[in-house]
Amino acid sequence: MLLTGEASAAPLGVAASVGAMLLSSLGYVLAKRWGGDVDVLASTSWRLTAGGLLLLPFAVVVEGAPPRLDGPALLGFGYVSVVATAVAFASWFAGLRHLPAGTVGLVGLLNPVTGVLLGTLIAGEVLTVRQLCGVVLGLAGVVLGRPVVARARTGRAVTSVR
């Protein structure tokens, strides 16, 4: 999109994306620091509730009333609520208890990779060369970022990645 000149990036959208990245990164570091012995499911539930309540006024103003939901929409909503949100975030924060925040943060680079691959495999979308390059860059970021995170933690070079 940006490299072809077919569309331009909206400054507000870019600012929102950068803000979301910074705030989520801060949240992950704070969750790692303050996680303690709190139950992962309970703490994840409170985090998602607080985030939802914070976003609710913006959603009402920008989107208006929710549309009428039929059976397939309710099934999709249930899947997104339980699997794509509750299970994913509970797993994410459980990972924060056992791994450095920088390592867990690298997993976020797999989100667009997963989206592109699922779109290709399930929805029959065409995988373009540009998308394939993006997938390779995302995977390279995960692979190359892990030794940097480990080196920063220990203060010395790391030769193997576990």
Whole-angstrom CA distances from 99 to 34, 63, 87, 107 are 14, 38, 18, 11
Domain coverage including residue 68: 9-98
Q: Are residues 83 and 106 in the same domain?
A: no
Q: Are residues 25 and 88 in the same domain?
A: yes
Q: Are residues 78 and 13 in the same domain?
A: yes
Print burial letters for 63-88: b (CB count within 10 Å at least 16), e (below 16).
Answer: eeeeeeeeeeeeeeeeeeeeeeeeee
Print burial letters for 10-26: b (CB count within 10 Å at least 16), e (below 16).
Answer: eeeeeeeeeeeeeeeee
**Tens of pLDDT along 29-80?**
887 777 777 787 888 888 888 888 988 999 899 898 888 889 999 999 899 9
**Tens of pLDDT along 144-162?**
887 665 556 666 554 444 4
Q: What is the pLDDT of residue 133?
A: 92
Query: Within its chain, how far is the Cα of 125 from the centroid?
Result: 22
Q: What is the pLDDT of residue 135?
A: 92
Does the pLDDT of residue 19 top 80, yes or no? Answer: yes
How many C-alpha atoms does 25 have within 13 Å on its Cβ side?
12
Does the pLDDT of residue 5 top 80, yes or no? Answer: no
Does the pLDDT of residue 98 top 70, yes or no? Answer: yes
Q: What is the pLDDT of residue 75?
A: 93
107, 95 Cβ separation under 8 angstroms = yes
Q: Are residues 17 and 93 in the same domain?
A: yes
pTM: 0.58
Last residue of a domain, one of 98, 116, 144: 98
CB neighbours of residue 150 within 10 Å: 19
**Tens of pLDDT along 131-143?**
899 899 989 988 8
Q: What is the pLDDT of residue 100?
A: 81
Rounded distance, CA 97 to CA 92, Å?
9
